[in-house]
Amino acid sequence: MFSNLFHLLFSTNEDREREQHEAWLAEAQDLFDLENRMRELDRRPAGNRIFH
């Protein structure tokens, strides 16, 4: 619990965004899905990559 709070308070927006990207990519069902998700991330403008 305290580690989550510490992480929330001291991590940057970029760190949280990168972790969200990694988690979202890890949910891919197969290589085709992973490739599509990676392409979708590449198409989004930097700093505006909001997840579903």
On whether residue 33 sits in a domain, the answer given is: yes
Structural domain harbouring 6? 2-43
Number of independent structural domains in the chain: 1
pLDDT at residue 36, rounded to an integer: 96
Return the closest-CA partner of residue 25 out of 8, 10, 42: 42
- Average pLDDT over all residues of the chain: 84
Which of 4-8, 18-22, 23-27 is the least confident region?
A: 4-8
On whether residue 10 sits in a domain, the answer given is: yes
pTM as predicted:
0.64
On whether residue 49 sits in a domain, the answer given is: no
Per-residue confidence band for 50, with pLDDT thresholds at 50, 70 and 90: low
